[in-house]
Amino acid sequence: MRIKPLLIISFLMFSLNSYSQNFDSLNIRTIYSEALTSRISYDNLNYLCKNIGGRICGSPQSEKAINWLYNLLTEMKLDSVYLQECMVRQWVRGDKEIASVISGIVGNFDLNCCALGTSVGTGSEGILSNVIEVMSFDELKKLGREDIEGKIVFFNRPADQRFINTGSAYGSAVDQRVRGAIEAGRLGAIGVIVRSATVAYDLHPHTGIVRYEDSTKKIPAIGISTKDADLLSSSLKVDPALKVYIRTTCHENPEVKSYNVIGEIKGSKYPDEIILIGAHTDSWEIGEGAHDDGTGIAQCIEVLRIFKDLDVKPRHTIRFVAFMDEEINQRGAKKYAEIVKAKNEKHIAAIESDGGGFTPFGFSIDANDTARAKIQSWHPLLLPYGIYYLEKGGSGVDVWYLKDQKIPLIGLDVDSQRYFDFHHSSNDVFENVNRREMQLGSASIASLVYLIDEYGLK
């Protein structure tokens, strides 16, 4: 039987596609096997957490982390390793914070607390006043200056547990932390207490950025644990006249130089076209910055190691950026985007890992329809590894600053159910990271980088 030319072409195309898919499947399987059998990334995370610890921008610990990263990437014999300068704020937490309830009815007791990030301090003598509990900014405004002036405002709206996505639950409460001092300060409050923005119910207070406006007096802001928030609330119902004493010595020093750390494997065919993988070096210093974002740093370094150890020769340049200052002002991300624009560098994708080292289930994609469809076409290759979600969505705080340059932005999505148990708290330590879960994330990023390098996003 004679086969028509069109059928021959169709058969050859089918055969080539089948071969390509089988080849890609084999390579992805090799990437996962390499990641899951290695302890190198986990050991790197252990060093970052235990030998350096919490590393807010501008601190000695952040400088130590920069030096460690630079030396580690250099020892990996990458094609280039360099620092990218940026100026950062230098906020210092100071002495251990104190928050004490004083009441002749319910008694005197301490609250588990921490200063919110960039908060002003109370001064060495502290502040003492009655407390007004509110659940929203609208409720605060209805009370007005008459009821608020000279008082400490207690924002006690819990994270909404009904959300399946814990990021949405966090978002339902975090405005109190971010803008609480502004809104209360406008009405003459002398300080704010904020229920931690977490779905966890424990004794760990969570920090995080608090914002101020130049037009409003800056007042001290602390976070208290969710259990202590309920304790304070119930105590106020018994004794509305109770007082709280707060003492914090946090302060801000002049801005200092800091750095993004960048390491590259140069592309063999398109060295001027870049696939960016990124995470942030800095972390809140009350913990070790394990999930936020030590795991992201470890995972991105692991992608480079996997490519090197498996002797993968990428066609495009793979660039890892350890961004500085994600937690406060994103100065590192802004500087990086500024330089990319000034140099007219071509990025074909930017991938960020900043959701913790939990089990990955996919990638959220902030890109045009063509790029998103291309990534979605790889679903059969990634599904065997639990990567089923490849949908339109956000990417990451740091790579977001590249958005106006029309670069496809991608964020690693992981099971978030436990993330906000640790996020911005003293509980964010190495012991709470599972090696296998973290390495599934490393392999997922490496596999996506491999596919983008092979087939592009057009």
| 94-249 fold | Glucose Oxidase; domain 1 (3.50.30)
Thinking of the domain 32-90+255-455, which architecture would CATH place it in?
3-Layer(aba) Sandwich (3.40)
* pLDDT > 90 fraction of the chain, expressed in percent and rounded: 95
Span 215-248, pLDDT tens digits: 999 999 999 999 999 999 999 999 999 999 999 9
Tell whether omega for the bond before 293 is within 30 degrees of 0, i.e. cis. yes
* pLDDT score at 22: 85
* pLDDT score at 13: 45
Angle CA 93–95–96, to nearest 5: 95
Span 365-424, pLDDT tens digits: 999 999 999 999 999 999 999 999 999 999 999 999 999 999 999 999 999 999 999 999
Q: Cβ(334)–Cβ(399) under 8 Å?
A: no
For the chain, what are the domain ranges? Answer: 32-90+255-455, 94-249
CA atoms within 13 A on the CB side of 9: 3
Provide the pLDDT confidence category of residue 6 given band limits of 50, 70 and 90: very low
**Whole-angstrom distance, CA of residue 387 vs CA of residue 434:** 18
CA atoms within 13 A on the CB side of 414: 29
> What 3-state DSSP class applies to 9?
helix
